[in-house]
Structure 1
């Protein structure tokens, strides 16, 4: 199959900014719901100290369901992306996301929502997220000029970080609404059965998906001709195998992917470890200050996100490295590993915040430089299939990390688990600085082989 580079649409940057803005709203809504769900499990569902094993299981099971569904469906999503209109895929995913968010809202209104149903719904959310992400990631190069790709990637990284900043604050506010109304004796009858405001967070999430879909329905997001052309039919099975062949024949890209697999192995369990570290490892500190678990957890999440926002703004304004972008990946990885180790070693909320702030600073640079390398190496019509396999290889360790974090945290101090994971990440990333294969990752092998595909 021959694939040609497609110049971005004339008004592509304007369209990308609208698309980025609308999808950013959805990301923010999901961050509100995700933080609220962790509070629901930690404070409402399993409030007692002796329920630590059940809490660890619930946190890891829901995160694992999302991660496994998102990771294992990646090759299917990528193949679908390279065979169908990418705008329609994103639109359908937004609408399904809204339906699932409102479904979880209904479940949380029950006296005790079955955990297995929540786990299954989390898995469906992961599936929808992968299809949307695959189509979105493959749309960058049809909209954004090549010299603006690092800036566009930095903008998206900023939103992910901003979501972590705004999400906890908004979620905490919504969670406290029923209790506040009870104190003022202004609680409406129809809200009298609510224990907290977690369902409000999912209402916000569902509405954000609806708004994102409405904006997307007014945009024109082109797909490469090879995606929509049906005059030369391709085998679905061959398309699913294509991404594996493309990456397997390019050792530098594969080395970069395997390094990110280690990153995800070390960092993905943080979603399970962080609430446990706050509840058990940092309890003496925040209790002595008269604070609460919700406030302490929100403070850590917000601090990390502030670092992420600042890092994202920096990479968006700067535009990233124009050459040797691999250094923009590996150096932040080393710093992130050391910061994770410091977080696990911390005994105070202030120390933990400082470590997470540094971690937040590193993520936008790391991810934006990596994304720019891939976007410059893979032709647009192939990006759905290649990027989906890329996601599978890089993220296959994320569910394993989540499961290990839950198992290890149930037996050992959560802080020690984070400490070991951070040191492992720093050592592996530092070793890659001396890997000659990794240094060739930007030599243009992907584009040189384009005509042969």
Structure 2
């Protein structure tokens, strides 16, 4: 029996253009992040040092995500998506152009600028999805976007590992810039019909009022910040994997640290398989919160499994399961929020969500790096897995959670 929702999505040219832009953009992000992680690890020689790239992403997210969400609600999203990709391509190319041997400080300063531009791209992209996809297709559409995110980790990190073996690091900067340009070209092919509100001029002094309006909406609706908390915890597990995999590969599994991208590949494959199953299981269970509960149990258990093995094959299997379980959390939550939040409020709310996601990839990652140096990498994985498992087992005790 054919999957009609999938068939409709893959015949939706606007969705395909946006999805292609997402793939190219995420590939560029992963190649650039690989450069930052290797640079940091080789310079600082510690797990905490590897957390530095996360800070270059987090600082702009904390400072600008919510504010940029206001402008996403004001402006047309297609120009935002197009220009932000071109800007990032230019900034990434500046690093090798400014110096034949760029200093660490220069690399990370420009990285902060690259990720500052990303803070307006993310809410614009998330807000655009319900504008080109029917409501009953949102779970599958978001699953595909999550798949692109993990697939980018597979290809981005994996290809970067291979390229660095044969070419200078300058080639990776050029590759990232080209991928950002391809994302911009993909956006050009997309048609997005937006209400007039997005092109109206608003006085500058209303920015704070609009920002407060978005925050009040979140605080008034408990289910929204419950969903944010769930996303935060689910992505914390992936953040820990991203930061600690370099050290985990070399110190625990006894393989070259530069090959950490190959481990991340298995999380991407697991996510891809999870995407295939998420919609089918949603039909059987009817309620999204059943999917989310199961996802937390799977992710928590797999993280604890990663902590308990020193075997490469078992570690790859556990990381695969982690990716599989995450598909059951992020896609249903995102689909719920896109359907629940009013159209004229989405930019601001998703701007705040982007800040939450950034914190999920930063605060736990930095803490995990510090604790891994203080105790051990397996201890961090086990404790984080236990917390995530506990959330999965107790989530339904929160009344509002069942509304998802």
Q: TM-score, normalised to structure 2's length? A: 0.89
1:259–1:429: 8 Å Cα contact kept in structure 2? Answer: no
Corresponding residue for residue 194 of structure 1:
none
| Distance change >3 Å, CA 425–CA 150, structure 1 → 2 | same
Deviation at 1:245, TM superposition (A): 0.7
Q: Distance in 1 between matches of 2:52 and 2:239?
A: 13
Deviation at 1:234, TM superposition (A): 8.2
Corresponding residue for residue 451 of structure 1:
none
1:131 to 116, 120, 127: 120
| Distance change >3 Å, CA 80–CA 33, structure 1 → 2 | same
Q: Which moved more, 1:327-336 or 1:89-98?
A: 327-336
Matches within 5 A, 1:142-291: 142-178=131-167, 197-230=168-201, 235-283=206-254, 286=255
Cα-to-partner distance string for 1:65-123 (whole Å, 9 max, x where unaligned): 2123224321111111001111111111101110122123446840xx33222222222
Unpaired runs of 5+ in structure 1? 1-10, 179-196, 287-291, 442-453
SS in 2 for 1:260: helix
Cα-to-partner distance string for 1:374-407 (whole Å, 9 max, x where unaligned): 0110122211011112333454343221221222
Q: Distance in 1 between matches of 2:127 and 2:253?
A: 42
1:349 equivalenced with 2:338 (yes/no): no
1:380 to 343, 354, 357: 343
Cα-to-partner distance string for 1:300-352 (whole Å, 9 max, x where unaligned): 11112111122223346777678411222221022111111211222121121
Q: Distance in 2 between matches of 1:293 and 1:56?
A: 11
Q: Distance in 1 between matches of 2:237 and 2:154?
A: 22
Deviation at 1:240, TM superposition (A): 0.7
Corresponding residue for residue 114 of structure 1:
103
Q: Distance in 1 between matches of 2:162 and 2:202?
A: 55
Q: Distance in 2 between matches of 1:367 and 1:122?
A: 26
1:152–1:316: 8 Å Cα contact kept in structure 2? Answer: no
Q: Distance in 2 between matches of 1:36 and 1:118?
A: 9
Q: Distance in 2 between matches of 1:207 and 1:330?
A: 40
1:36–1:175: 8 Å Cα contact kept in structure 2? Answer: no
| Distance change >3 Å, CA 224–CA 319, structure 1 → 2 | farther
Unpaired runs of 5+ in structure 2? 1-9
1:165–1:305: 8 Å Cα contact kept in structure 2? Answer: yes
Q: Distance in 2 between matches of 1:68 and 1:298?
A: 25
| Distance change >3 Å, CA 259–CA 21, structure 1 → 2 | closer
Q: Distance in 1 between matches of 2:284 and 2:72?
A: 29
| Distance change >3 Å, CA 346–CA 22, structure 1 → 2 | same
Corresponding residue for residue 450 of structure 1:
none
2:20–2:186: 8 Å Cα contact kept in structure 1? Answer: no
Q: Distance in 2 between matches of 1:237 and 1:314?
A: 42
| Distance change >3 Å, CA 116–CA 278, structure 1 → 2 | same
Cα-to-partner distance string for 1:135-183 (whole Å, 9 max, x where unaligned): 11111121111122122112211211211221233112211224xxxxx
Q: Which moved more, 1:337-346 or 1:233-242?
A: 233-242
| Distance change >3 Å, CA 226–CA 322, structure 1 → 2 | farther
| Distance change >3 Å, CA 346–CA 106, structure 1 → 2 | farther
Deviation at 1:265, TM superposition (A): 4.3
Corresponding residue for residue 258 of structure 2:
294
What's the C-alpha RMSD, in Å, of the aligned pairs?
Answer: 2.5
Corresponding residue for residue 6 of structure 2:
none
Corresponding residue for residue 96 of structure 1:
87
Q: Distance in 2 between matches of 1:321 and 1:97?
A: 42
Deviation at 1:22, TM superposition (A): 2.7
1:13 equivalenced with 2:2 (yes/no): no
Deviation at 1:233, TM superposition (A): 9.2
1:77 to 68, 75, 78: 68
1:273–1:414: 8 Å Cα contact kept in structure 2? Answer: yes
Deviation at 1:29, TM superposition (A): 2.8
1:320–1:369: 8 Å Cα contact kept in structure 2? Answer: no
> Aligned residue pairs: how many?
395
1:12–1:143: 8 Å Cα contact kept in structure 2? Answer: no
Q: Which moved more, 1:225-234 or 1:250-259?
A: 225-234
1:433 to 377, 396, 400: 396
SS in 2 for 1:269: helix
2:47 to 33, 36, 56: 56
Corresponding residue for residue 424 of structure 1:
387
